[in-house]
Structure 1
Amino acid sequence: MISGKLAGFSTPIDGNRFHRLSLALSTALISGFLLNVQMSALAQIVPDNTLGSTPSIVTPGVEIKGLPSTLIQGGAQQGSFLFQSFQQFNVGNGQQVYFNNPAGIQNILSRVTGSQASQILGTLGVLGNANLFLINPNGIYFGPNSRLDISGSFVASTADRLTLGSSGEFSAVNPQAPPLLTVNVPIGVQFGNLPTGAIVNAGDLKVGQDLTLSGSSVTSTGQLTALQGQVTVESVVGNVQVQTLTAQTATLTAQQDLILPSSTLNTTGNLTLQAQGMVKISDSPIAPLQIFAGENLQIQGNSSLDITALQHPGSILVAGQDLILRSANPVTGDGRFFAGRDLKVEQLDGSQGDVISPNDPIILAIGNVKLGNYVGASLHILAGGSVETGNITINAIGTQTTTINPSNTNLLPGTTIPYNALSAVKLSNGTDLTIGGDTQRTLDIRAGIDWNQAPFNGQQPTSTAPPLAGFTPNTLQTPTLTGSNIKTGAITISNAPVANPALVYLTNQYSANPLLSGDITTNNINVSSNATNGGTVVIDSRGAVTTLGATGLSTNGSISAAATVGAATVRNGGQVTVLANGPISTATTNVSSFAGNGGNVLMQSKSGITLRVINASALQTQNPGNGGTVTVLSGGNIEMLANPGAASGITSAGVQGGLITLQSQGDILAKGKNQIANESQGSQGSDIIIQAKNFYGTGTLISTSSTGTGAANASNINIQVDGTLQLIGGSVASNVAIQGGTGNAGKIEIQANQIQLLDGATVSSENAQLGTGKSGDILLKGTTSIELNNATIRNRVALDASGSGGTVTIQTGTLTLSKVSTLFSQTEGTGTASQVSVWANQVYLSDQSSIDSSVSNGKSGMGGMIQVQANTLKLDSGAKIIARTAGQGDAGTIVINVTDQIAIDGDGTGIFANTIAGATGKGGDIKIDPNLVILTNGATISVNSQGSGPGGSIFLQANNLTLNNGKIVATSSSTQGGNIFLTVPGIIQMTNNSQISATSGITGGAGDGGNITISTLFLVALPNQNSDITANAFLGKGGNIQITAQALFGIAYQSALTTPQVNTTNDITASSTFGVNGVVIINTPGVDPSKGLGPLPGDLVDASRLVAQGCGGPAVATTGRFVLLGQGGLPANPGELLTSDATLEDTRLPGIAIPVQPTALLPDQGKVAWMIEAAKKRCYDRE
């Protein structure tokens, strides 16, 4: 038996044994029933004798409401119940049949105990307010002209019996006297084991309260109306079909399938549509489907839910509150849906349910939308609250009339809003976007909409069915909303065969409700194509944007709008735009192309951005397109994370690499082996522009390059940082490698308050080609400081290239190079190496670091100039400023302008402009102009030549020069020594084996010694510390030495050093071992021109008598010359001061020997100061 309580009176039917019949069987039964109805005799009402002494009484011809009618009286009365029983019960066409309603009767229960179905072809009513129950297990048919005149409720059922709680039952198949009832009891129905009685309605059934049709199957093609109550339609075995329904609330329940073809269902309250089998909802091109529930609309098909209602533009499903679609299997959701509160797609257990849609659904909700996975055509979701979905796969487009698109002029049902008003979108950055679900595969999700804004202006979809008298639908309610979040699973739109690329549009910024906040979270997004251009992805969020990986536990999701390999001739990469007020977190963004141009990427956040990969490249190796543009703009930080085991970073490659722009109002953090790369092949690409508060990179490569053939230039790199730029490892590089072309490397410009290049970091520009292109300029501006710690700045003209190097310019407060750091300019071809310019307040080089300009072995390129402009310059621990040549080209010139002091300390530390062994080029010059120069502990200023080319010259102009085991040398191996020019208005101090040397032939060569020219106030050397000034030669001629000073202390001319640097005396020599000695001229005028001319000496000294004439060389060698020019004479020995003025009257005034304190009792500096003070007294106190 199948039993249950009547909906509207108690609880829905809950059978204990259900028999499922096939749709074919159910249809056959209904057809047979209708045939039986058509063949039945004229309608008649025949009472039976089952009620005993209180039978039903049928009186025809009674005038009721002005018309002849049939009145049913009698029956068994039990309390408020009246029982009627009939053998047959029919109402003829045009006939009126009324049940009498005695006083106190609330429920009239009638049954048909015969074997024929009931035909209700006319009017069936109750003369009063009692509820009427009619059961006929054989079936009940309501004809087209049938109607109900019932103020109360009406129940028509094909059940076997009515159950009356514990008081018994009222059975139609086993008729007994009615039970004794003294109080109201719940009324239920009970069906037999195999119920076959169907209910068919083709008429207008309208009641004052509730209306219930309960049969083995129910088909209603007519009207069901309960303006003040509930309509319940239920089947216990077969299907339910309802065409038109109007009620306060309604429940349609089918044991098998619920079928709603082009139905119009309207309730002011809840509407429940439920089937144990399938719920099938459809429309037609000429008849819309309109389901409107003033409150909740719940549609549940336990086995399936199939909604295909897009053929008519007026079709829609509306819920004033929640709209719930529920099924154990994916819901087919081809329809237009509107929920005044939330829309949910669920499985039977309440978890998210999946949706499939061969066409294009449109979902509108003032509240939230929640569904599981989606597979189908273009999908539009517009919600006032949040949207949550599973994975989404778009595999088709919709049609012009079923989608949001510019050509769809149809109106949203019940509004004046055309669908095309929803197709024009303006993003939060002012960019226009067009939605066209009919021409491009589209996912369109908009959350957080304020429905009072345009284009809605407060309008909401409603039913367009003609209103019924007395029926007022409820006003749609505004729900309480908590957010405008969008959360999706993976999004896939691939292999689109249409001309237009696919579109993903996710936003909570469209007609945004200003009271709501919200984020957008997705899994991987893939809108690639192998037949057309890559798709477009637009994410516009008022909060954060996060793409999750497959696990959903980390921010490693990807966005792909690529054009992959396929049959099309030209396929460009897609467009990705991500806008957010909050942070953006994504892993891989791919807009690459295998046959056309790379796509464009824009990420813009008012907060921060975290990313791993952005690829906007044209990847085809033959005839590639151009790289796309990448723009990343952040109001907070930009964080670039490395992909473990895979390439990470931002790349735009192609014939022309695209513009890459990173702008951050916070910091840029590039962690791990990331790259920011612009790669061009045969044509100049666009630049890399980076702007941030601070930039911190670890292993990061920032590069532009140009390869191939032709005249393509590499792009420029421009980095602007307000605070600190720190690069640990990694590099900033611009390279050109064009075979036989003229392309130039790009310019690198880095500006920051502090620049730190650490642990192998490199900034470089290279011309690595066989053409004539130049390497690019490098400019680093560090307002406060630039630090290189085991780092390199390199400008290089590579092997066999003829192009020149660009310039390297450093501008900063403090420049520090440590741990073998290098500021390097090199030519390995015929081109000139770059000029290196340093502009700083303080320059400090240590730990074998260097500023280096070089010409490689055997190459003819010229070395570049090194220029240092600073307040102080300090070098120690093997640090160098060096210009050298190992080839045919000349070494570069070094120019150092220092306003305060140069301090150089340590063996191997110094300033060098040398030629390397085997080189034929000329050594470079060194020009130094400080206030004070201090060389200590083996420090050197050198223009040595170890090759066959001549050495360069040293020009030093300083107020004071201190050499403490320091060296200023212009020596050569086998060529002429270089020249040294020292202009020191103050004091030159030499101690502790210091050297000023222009000696040649230091390896036994034949070059002449160089020349040394010294102009100073005092030349002071502490006695017996082996500090020498030499311009010697081996086979060649000794050089010339000219010294102009007020006085020389502790150093004297020697004709030769038999073994140079062995004796401990301080010597001035210009000798040659096997050649002619040079000339030494010492000019000590000792005259103050402001005091007039002093008298000449009476007897000129023959200096030749004071100079040893021997020479250790062969007899052919000539002795050197020593010329002393000055007012005073020669001291008696090098340890004595000059005497007072010589006069004509006394030409042999003996020298005045001033005793010198023992060295052990007076430090060297003290000795020098003492000697200087004595000299001052001698030279200036002449009064």
Structure 2
Amino acid sequence: MKQSTRSLFLTTIPLVTLGWIASINTAKAQITPDNSLGNESSVVTPDVEIKGVPSDRIDGGAVRGTNLFHSFQQFNVGEARGAYFRNPPGIENILSRVTGNNPSNILGTLGVLGNANLFFINPNGIVFGPNARLDVSGSFLASTANSLVFDNNFEFSATNPQAPPLLSVNIPNGLRFRDNPEKILVQGNGQGVRLNDDLIDTVDALRVESDKTLALVGGNLSLEGATLKTAGGRIELGSVAGVGLVRLNPINKGLSLDYGGVQNFGNIQLSQQTTVDASGKGGGDVHVTGRQITLTNGSQIEASTLESEPGGSLVVNASDSVDLIGVSPFSLVPSALVTFVYSGATSRGGDITLNTERLSIRDGAGMFTGTQGEGNAGNLFINVSSLSVTNRSLIDSSTYAKGAGGDITINTTGLLSIRDGAGVFTDTFGEGNAGNLFINVGSLSVTNRSVISASTSGKGNAGNLFINVGSLSVTNRSVISASTFGEGNAGNLSIKASELVEVLGTEEPNTNPSLRANVEREATGSGGNLTIDTKKLVIRNAQVGASTFGKGDAGNLTVNASESVEITGKVFGINPEPGKPPIRNPAGLFSQVNTQGEGKGGDLTVNTPRLSIGDGGKVQVAVFGKGDAGDLLIRASDIDIYDTPGKADFFEGGIFAGFQVDEDETTAPPKGDFGGTVTIETDRLRVRDGGTVTVFTEGDGNAGTLRITAKDSIEVFGEVVGKTTNRKFTSSISARATADSTGNGGTLILNTDKLIVRDRGQITVSSENNKLAGNLEITARTINLNNQGVITATSRGGDGGNITLNFRDYLFMRRNSEISTSAGTRETDGGNGGNIFINNLPGYRGFAIATPDENNDITANAFRGQGGQVVINSNGIFGFVPRSRQELEKLRPDDLDPRQILTNDISAISQQNPSLSGTVTLNTPEVDTNRELVKLPENVVDPTQLIAQNPCQQVARSEFIVTGRGGLPLNPNQTISSDNVRIDLVKPVANTRSFKSTIQNQQSMSSTVKQIEPARGWVFNEKGLVVLTAFDSSSTGFQRSWQTPTACPAL
């Protein structure tokens, strides 16, 4: 496959290029001076053996100060031959040009017999053949520029040849290009890649010494299997497409090229395992400048450090794009940019800097900095508009020894795409600390099993991973991780996304992505923190966690989402047992001590206006191994926890904290002291259709505390059935200890304005073992229980938990709802029953109301132990019936279960021991009947006192209406009974030994009540208001006389 790819690449070379190469290869290998220098023309002596090679020796030329000028009509060097410039004393620079119309073909050795720098320009093109090599002690510059420019405005031009001025000139300071410069081609055998740290230099290459520069500057540059070397010097590759000036600046290592005077750049292509290598005792410098720069087939640019001197720099500037593609067909060497500190080196490695519009790294290619020595690795900087890393390609900075790893910084205004098994890493496998990874991009996509990681597998600490992005998408088993696999501590993972973070998997096995800051298996270092700041976070069939699988403490996980957090689904793994269904785990946010882990779990914090958790998703702090769970804090205006019918299966979703057994692992139960505290601060909490909020223990530790404060409301309702397991998932808020655990149940505290529990919803504390059940405390303005809504505290073997309810306005129970605390079952002895305290806070005296005959019960029963207490302080209790044990024996002799009686019952009994029943105390306000009620005479009125005997007075129509109890008029035919009025407040219950029920009322207040007189007249008072008056028997009050109608003749 690789060979066919290579063939396809070769067939895409334009035919005009192939023709150009053919013309060069067939050109006559000779050197011909021109006449532009007059009597200072170059002199060529052929067939001189120089260093064992038949060569052309070039003498003569025009000397100006320390410069020697040569000018040729054509310049070619044949294979197995040499061409050497003589270096007269005092000459520092040899400047040569080709003024003819043919490109130069350098197939053999081009050298200088001395230490001078060699400049060679031919605007028609330059080819270095497969066996071409340089033998120069100074710097070497080959260019297809039109002229060399000097600081006195003199140009040594190949297209407009003139003799140099008589005055001396300094070193040239520029290369002048005209339209459409020709290319430079360098061929080779592709054997120049250094596979170990011993090969510093080779003569079989275009090479210069360690303190010199090798520069190729032309139109397009094409390097095919070529080898360019300097042992710590400088290599410059540049491509200019049009008119421009490239400045030449003298430096310690020869020359530095400045492209500030160039507007249009050409292309540079390295193929067929080309090597451009400036590695040495100290890393050299490599600078590459062009429009489109491409490395293919295992081609590499390297500037590494092998001994004690510091590394240089590797800089790539491309006005359009950089493409790093593939590996070599046979040795699998990646196409790459590399700076490395090799074994034994003690100085810092060089940096890599890449600037372009578009960077593509694909098919196994990469960018690498690292260290195997004591020196620190160099840093890697990428500044682009868009970047894609695909198909097993890497951007990596690693340390394998004492030296620290380098930082990686990626800046892009557009998209960074990492996909198809690609990765970006800062790692340590040794004693040195890993570098940091900084990603600042417009948008980031990590997909198809790709990785971004800052980690440690050694003694050194991992670096931090910072991601600043507009939107982040992680999909299809991809991972972003800041973890430790060794003794070193993990770094922190910080994600800041102005718009969106989405971590999306599917329901197919092994497709689930993750964000991690973990202590991995067998690691002993501490975990780092994971922080996500974004507008919206979406987690679907994926996991985001800061956990420990090893022996170090986990870090903290913090999510700040200014708009919303949405969590749904499950993650699926391949079951190692053939034919078995996939392994299932919940999706969500996790801070855990996992199976085989030992350490403290980190805290988990979520801050967002809206939190949605559904279909098996979880927000969880938990211990599966040994240690304590961290705390869980959620601040959200709206929280919705649910399961969708048809999707719920195997486990419920919701908010969890505690000790948990991993059903897929055969290990000891989790151990620790504390299962974590859950604190939820919200306006509205809905737990529906199988959703759950719980603190729990399935191991040797105690369950924690669950505290919920909801300014507006808490709603718990509904249940669903698993699509394959037929398991019922009931909506619940709970604190529980399972049967296999040895810890106590947790505590549950709820504060809200409105609490609604309906449609089988549950709020419960429970213990299925022999330990204590937790306590449950609810404070609200109103509490509504409807259609089998329950609030319970149950214990299977230990003492029952206590329930405390405080409500300002009312408790309303309907349709088989329940408030109960119980201890024991028929199968277990159980402890004493818990207590139910209702309204024991000052200011909380709401009404307790139940719809008659709907089986809404309040019970504090025990099976064999002491029954509990039910204490209700209320302004009014309506619809409930206190039940003694004797009454239950009559109504339900088999089980004494008030849940099987349609009335709304209040009980506190021991079902097996009549002598251990508890008490029911109902405290309601006393009504002062002496103040509020008066005794009326049997004969309510004397008709002779109300009805005038004078018929004229009867004309003044008067009436008095007597109403019965409740304000309803009496039947005209009803007689007035002389019995006193009775109002039944509570049905009397006989006081027995096994049941103590008291109704405590306020102390009666004595008062003197005057007899009420009927109104018999009215007057205007001093304010002009009508006042009803009665007859004054003492004749001392003002009495209004009847007015006689003027038309009545009887008066």
TM range (shorter): 0.5 to 0.7
Higher relative contact order (CA 8 A, sep 6+): 2
Match of 1:605 in 2: 383
1:1025 Cα deviation after fit: 2.1
1:1144 Cα deviation after fit: 12
| 5+ residue gaps, structure 2 | 1-27, 49-53, 63-67, 149-172, 189-204, 255-259, 505-511, 570-586, 644-651, 661-668, 720-729, 840-844, 889-895, 936-979, 1010-1051
Tell me how far apart the structure 2 counterparts of residues 595 and 1073 of structure 1 sit (CA, whole Å).
78
Matched, 1:1031 2:1031: no
AA partner of residue 368 (structure 2)? N
Matched, 1:826 2:826: no
Kindly indicate whether the alpha-carbon contact (under 8 Å) linking 1:602 and 1:630 is maintained by their aligned counterparts in 2.
yes
Q: In 2 relative to 1, CA 267–1120 (structure 1 residues): closer, same or farther, beyond 3 Å?
A: closer
User: Which is worse superposed, 578-587 or 974-983?
Assistant: 578-587
Match of 1:1068 in 2: 906
Tell me how far apart the structure 1 counterparts of residues 931 and 465 of structure 2 sit (CA, whole Å).
70
Match of 1:778 in 2: 557
Q: In 2 relative to 1, CA 529–306 (structure 1 residues): closer, same or farther, beyond 3 Å?
A: closer
Match of 2:452 in 1: 676
What TM-score comes out, normalization by structure 2 length?
0.66
1:1122 Cα deviation after fit: 0.9
Kindly indicate whether the alpha-carbon contact (under 8 Å) linking 1:364 and 1:382 is maintained by their aligned counterparts in 2.
no
Q: In 2 relative to 1, CA 892–1094 (structure 1 residues): closer, same or farther, beyond 3 Å?
A: farther
Per-residue deviation, residues 1126-1151 of structure 1 (Å, max 9, x unmatched): 4799xxxxxxxxxxx99999xxxxxx
Match of 2:367 in 1: 589
Tell me how far apart the structure 1 counterparts of residues 613 and 907 of structure 2 sit (CA, whole Å).
38
Tell me how far apart the structure 2 counterparts of residues 267 and 615 of structure 1 sit (CA, whole Å).
46
Matched, 1:735 2:518: yes
1:974 Cα deviation after fit: 1.7
**SS at structure 2 position matched to 1:637:** strand
Per-residue deviation, residues 1094-1145 of structure 1 (Å, max 9, x unmatched): 69999999999922568xxxxxxx411111134799xxxxxxxxxxx99999
Kindly indicate whether the alpha-carbon contact (under 8 Å) linking 2:474 and 2:514 is maintained by their aligned counterparts in 1.
no
**Aligned counterpart for 1:1081 among listed residues 921, 934, 941:** 921
**SS at structure 1 position matched to 2:473:** strand
1:370 Cα deviation after fit: 2.1
AA partner of residue 265 (structure 2)? G
How many pairs does the alignment contain?
784
Per-residue deviation, residues 741-770 of structure 1 (Å, max 9, x unmatched): 6x53211111100011111x2122223344
Q: In 2 relative to 1, CA 1006–902 (structure 1 residues): closer, same or farther, beyond 3 Å?
A: same
Q: Percent identity?
A: 21
Matched, 1:446 2:284: no
**Aligned counterpart for 2:819 among listed residues 982, 996, 999:** 996
Per-residue deviation, residues 992-1015 of structure 1 (Å, max 9, x unmatched): 211111111135423111111123
Kindly indicate whether the alpha-carbon contact (under 8 Å) linking 1:503 and 1:537 is maintained by their aligned counterparts in 2.
yes
Tell me how far apart the structure 2 counterparts of residues 830 and 881 of structure 1 sit (CA, whole Å).
23
Kindly indicate whether the alpha-carbon contact (under 8 Å) linking 1:1096 and 1:1143 is maintained by their aligned counterparts in 2.
no
Match of 1:870 in 2: 682
Per-residue deviation, residues 816-857 of structure 1 (Å, max 9, x unmatched): 111211111112456331110100011111123121111243
Kindly indicate whether the alpha-carbon contact (under 8 Å) linking 2:601 and 2:630 is maintained by their aligned counterparts in 1.
yes
Per-residue deviation, residues 291-331 of structure 1 (Å, max 9, x unmatched): 85584463666x95653246362754445xx2444698755
Match of 1:370 in 2: 184
1:1019 Cα deviation after fit: 1.9
Match of 1:341 in 2: 146
AA partner of residue 221 (structure 2)? E
Per-residue deviation, residues 211-269 of structure 1 (Å, max 9, x unmatched): xxxxxxx999xx9969999x999xxxxx99599xxxxxxxxxxxxx9945325499999
Q: Give the 5 Å matches for 1:500-649.
A: 500-508=282-290, 518-523=291-296, 524-525=299-300, 527=302, 532=307, 537-549=314-326, 558-561=335-338, 563=340, 568-570=343-345, 574-587=349-362, 588-596=366-374, 599-612=377-390, 613-614=393-394, 616=396, 618=398, 620=400, 625-643=403-421, 648-649=423-424
Tell me how far apart the structure 1 counterparts of residues 816 and 227 of structure 2 sit (CA, whole Å).
86
1:981 Cα deviation after fit: 1.0
**SS at structure 2 position matched to 1:766:** coil
**Aligned counterpart for 1:937 among listed residues 759, 774, 781:** 759
Kindly indicate whether the alpha-carbon contact (under 8 Å) linking 1:998 and 1:1030 is maintained by their aligned counterparts in 2.
yes
Match of 1:402 in 2: none
Q: Give the 5 Å matches for 1:887-906.
A: 887-906=699-718
Kindly indicate whether the alpha-carbon contact (under 8 Å) linking 1:636 and 1:664 is maintained by their aligned counterparts in 2.
no
1:563 Cα deviation after fit: 4.9
Match of 1:1149 in 2: none
Match of 1:418 in 2: none
What TM-score comes out, normalization by structure 1 length?
0.59
1:861 Cα deviation after fit: 2.1
**SS at structure 1 position matched to 2:518:** strand
**Aligned counterpart for 1:842 among listed residues 638, 643, 661:** 638
| 5+ residue gaps, structure 1 | 1-21, 24-217, 234-238, 244-256, 344-361, 398-438, 462-477, 509-517, 1111-1117, 1130-1140, 1146-1183
Q: Give the 5 Å matches for 1:808-819.
A: 808-819=604-615
Match of 2:198 in 1: none
Q: In 2 relative to 1, CA 859–595 (structure 1 residues): closer, same or farther, beyond 3 Å?
A: same
Q: Give the 5 Å matches for 1:21-100.
A: none
Q: In 2 relative to 1, CA 330–739 (structure 1 residues): closer, same or farther, beyond 3 Å?
A: closer
User: Which is worse superposed, 1099-1108 or 861-870?
Assistant: 1099-1108
1:283 Cα deviation after fit: 1.6
1:386 Cα deviation after fit: 3.9
Q: In 2 relative to 1, CA 1093–892 (structure 1 residues): closer, same or farther, beyond 3 Å?
A: farther
**Aligned counterpart for 2:110 among listed residues 307, 311, 314:** 307
Matched, 1:1059 2:836: no
Kindly indicate whether the alpha-carbon contact (under 8 Å) linking 1:608 and 1:637 is maintained by their aligned counterparts in 2.
yes
Match of 1:261 in 2: 58
Tell me how far apart the structure 1 counterparts of residues 986 and 121 of structure 2 sit (CA, whole Å).
124
Kindly indicate whether the alpha-carbon contact (under 8 Å) linking 1:803 and 1:831 is maintained by their aligned counterparts in 2.
yes
**Aligned counterpart for 2:434 among listed residues 658, 663, 680:** 658
Kindly indicate whether the alpha-carbon contact (under 8 Å) linking 2:925 and 2:1001 is maintained by their aligned counterparts in 1.
yes
Q: In 2 relative to 1, CA 572–765 (structure 1 residues): closer, same or farther, beyond 3 Å?
A: farther
Coordinate RMSD, CA, aligned:
4.7
**Aligned counterpart for 2:538 among listed residues 756, 773, 784:** 756
Kindly indicate whether the alpha-carbon contact (under 8 Å) linking 1:394 and 1:441 is maintained by their aligned counterparts in 2.
no
1:591 Cα deviation after fit: 2.4
Tell me how far apart the structure 2 counterparts of residues 859 and 939 of structure 1 sit (CA, whole Å).
31
Tell me how far apart the structure 2 counterparts of residues 776 and 479 of structure 1 sit (CA, whole Å).
52
**SS at structure 2 position matched to 1:1061:** helix
Kindly indicate whether the alpha-carbon contact (under 8 Å) linking 2:128 and 2:185 is maintained by their aligned counterparts in 1.
no
Q: In 2 relative to 1, CA 1125–490 (structure 1 residues): closer, same or farther, beyond 3 Å?
A: farther
AA partner of residue 825 (structure 1)? V
Match of 1:1120 in 2: 995
Tell me how far apart the structure 1 counterparts of residues 700 and 31 of structure 2 sit (CA, whole Å).
105
AA partner of residue 653 (structure 1)? T
Tell me how far apart the structure 1 counterparts of residues 784 and 987 of structure 2 sit (CA, whole Å).
33
Tell me how far apart the structure 1 counterparts of residues 104 and 31 of structure 2 sit (CA, whole Å).
18
Q: Give the 5 Å matches for 1:353-364.
A: none
1:487 Cα deviation after fit: 3.1
Match of 2:803 in 1: 980
Tell me how far apart the structure 1 counterparts of residues 31 and 629 of structure 2 sit (CA, whole Å).
94
Match of 1:924 in 2: 746
AA partner of residue 629 (structure 2)? A
Kindly indicate whether the alpha-carbon contact (under 8 Å) linking 1:363 and 1:382 is maintained by their aligned counterparts in 2.
no
Q: Give the 5 Å matches for 1:392-471.
A: 393-394=226-227, 396-397=229-230, 439-440=231-232, 442-448=234-240
Per-residue deviation, residues 528-568 of structure 1 (Å, max 9, x unmatched): 8795598853213343322233599xxx964252659x8x4
**Aligned counterpart for 2:878 among listed residues 1045, 1049, 1057:** 1049
Kindly indicate whether the alpha-carbon contact (under 8 Å) linking 1:735 and 1:746 is maintained by their aligned counterparts in 2.
yes
